Amino acid sequence: MDTPILLDRNGLLAAWHRLVATAEHAARDRYELNEFGEVAANGCPSGTRQLAFTDIYCQLAEQMGHLAAMSVPVVTPSFGIRVPDVVWMAPEKWEGLEGDTPVPFVPDLCVEVLLDSDRQREMDRRVASYLEGGAREVIVVRPDGRLEFWGAEGRREASAFAIALSLEPLYCQVSASLSTIGSQVCDDIHHRVAEMTSARDVRHDLVQWESKQANGNPPLKNRATSAQP
């Protein structure tokens, strides 16, 4: 079996363009490349996680200017092409970048939100690769909502950018609920769906009966309206 070859920046970009040429536009941010140019799935974030990193993005844009972006692929020196949840960098670094091409370096600030994410097991390596690639700071949002600030010297007590971020507790509560009660949630959902379906059938029967009493079927639009609770 051949030993995989570690790709440099140009090799990674070439592999990325081959991937983009075959992937649907809407699915391009669903993939990453490892350091060998192999495709790694970047799972679709849940609604809760999307809300969380959109909230972080808005806070960064408000405090640091509108130079932040979400889900931008970036080239790292040792971990392939990765897609941080949120990035920010100085205006001059955005100049000349092409829309469909990954940023050929790591932006000044990268944020990873770990709510219901499978990235936690590789987060140490992600943080190291972002910092190695030029990030001045990496912010990690843990599943319980804790914020960690990382720099070249290690973990920091606060952001070197003097920013203050906060996360709605609801995001973490939803994430924790989904991960801890698992099958119980599914059973509860199935039970509620069954109840709703039963109630819907009753409403449908009632509408049908009313239609017969009126000696004729009402227009489809009226039937749909009558079926609303």
Q: Is the pLDDT of residue 193 over 70?
A: no
Q: Is the pLDDT of residue 183 over 80?
A: no
pTM above 0.85, yes or no: no
Residue 23 has pLDDT above 90, yes or no: no
**pLDDT at res. 160:** 96
pLDDT tens string 46-59: 888 899 999 999 99
Average pLDDT over residues 7-23: 90
Rounded Cα gap, residues 32 and 15, in angstroms: 11
